[in-house]
Amino acid sequence: MAGGEKAKSSGEYGEQIVKNILELMGWNNANSGVTVPCVHKEKHKKENSKEPQKHGIDYVYTYKSQLRDATKQDVLVSVKCRDGYPATDSGVKSKFKEFVLDLAYAMECYPACELAKKKIPNTDKKVISGLIFWIDRGSEDGRENESVIDKIGNFYMNQECVYETIALVDNKRAQFLYQLLSYTRSKYGKENVEFFYIDTGLNNSSIQRVYRGKEMPYEYVNSNVIPLAISNGDEKRLFIGVAESFCKEYLERLIGLAQELTSTWTAKVTIAFPDYNSFEHREAVLMAKSSFENADFVNSIEVITYKPDFRDEVI
Ligand SMILES: [Zn+2]
């Protein structure tokens, strides 16, 4: 296959992978292949390029924010699908910088385009955010669930461009979202699984406040704790999906969080870790629960894994 063709098919493969994750996030009708005319032509000029200047954006998703009152949220999604991550930390950083700059420039010109001007009812504020999916498509080197996020660390590019937020999804994060959301869908039924919208202090106007829905807020993409609201007939369940490994102290903090969240939404509670094993961790769960006063509520909390294998769910 010629180099150009391979690059093109890798790009399409990446877009399909990301489309699937966006669908799990409830971002079903994201606009794909959006072209934004460049309005900062001098600053954004690419060397040796004779073509009229424009920015291509893989997906744009616009919605009414659940976590900020009266706010239209536009998320510009950039898909980078490669065979392997750079071998060194500095390689990772410089590649990421290139991706960020590309998207940040697009975000600077985006407000002038038609899609950005489209109104959403009951909003009078706007937030534009960026989201980079950096996918390693290779699956033969044993590194397919690796994280590059840890290698990037604190990242500032204030001199070169102005942007509000750019979030990164790498293979590890994509795998977390995929496993958690596919697990809950298959366990409870797709139609019964929604995202729980936490109180941020910015979504206080009580008339408009919505507690749960099918769309995942942008702010949850990078969160290590994702709250879901499961409804099945009369049964309501708060399902807290956790990215990090099980530990007793962490569980105590999550039980505290569950108490807080269910003060406005009465529900049963499930806390799910990637590696929880009832034989291994039962004692630690009992100890964590015993440190709380509200015994009835706390004892009813269920701790499980969202990555079960044949040894789980037997006790
Ligand atoms: Zn531009």
The one-letter amino acid code at 306 reads Y
Highest mean pLDDT among 17-31, 154-168, 259-273: 17-31
pLDDT for 268 equals: 94
101 within 8 A of 157, measured Cβ to Cβ: yes
Distance 62 CA to ligand 1 centre (A): 20
Decide if 7 is inside a domain.
yes
pLDDT for 71 equals: 92
What's the whole-number mean pLDDT along residues 294-306?
92
Decide if 55 is inside a domain.
yes
Provide the pairing of β-strand 212-213 with 193-196.
antiparallel
Distance 131 CA to ligand 1 centre (A): 18
pLDDT for 50 equals: 67
Distance of CA 3 to the CA centre of its chain: 32
Distance 137 CA to ligand 1 centre (A): 29
Give the separation between CA 198 and CA 266, rounded to whole angstroms: 14
Decide if 310 is inside a domain.
no
**Boundary of a domain, candidates 139, 171, 203:** 171
Answer yes or no: do 119 and 267 share one domain.
no
Is residue 273 predicted with pLDDT exceeding 50? yes
pLDDT 10s digits, 196-215: 999 888 887 766 677 899 99
Answer yes or no: do 162 and 196 share one domain.
no
Q: Which two tokens stand for residue 106?
A: 């697009």
**Structural domain of 279:** 175-305
Distance 36 CA to ligand 1 centre (A): 8
Q: What CA–CA distances, in Å, run from 232 to 2, 123, 190, 194, 301?
A: 52, 31, 11, 11, 18
Distance 31 CA to ligand 1 centre (A): 19
In residues, how long is the chain? Answer: 315
Distance 288 CA to ligand 1 centre (A): 53
For the chain, the first-to-last Cα distance in angstroms comes to 52
Distance 55 CA to ligand 1 centre (A): 6
pLDDT 10s digits, 32-80: 999 999 999 888 987 777 666 899 999 999 999 999 999 999 999 999 9
Where does residue 112 fall: left (phi above 0), alpha (psi -120 to 50 degrees), or beta otherwise?
A: alpha
Distance 41 CA to ligand 1 centre (A): 6
**Boundary of a domain, candidates 171, 196, 223:** 171
Answer yes or no: do 122 and 245 share one domain.
no
Distance 37 CA to ligand 1 centre (A): 7
168 within 8 A of 152, measured Cβ to Cβ: yes
pLDDT 10s digits, 143-165: 667 788 877 765 555 555 555 68
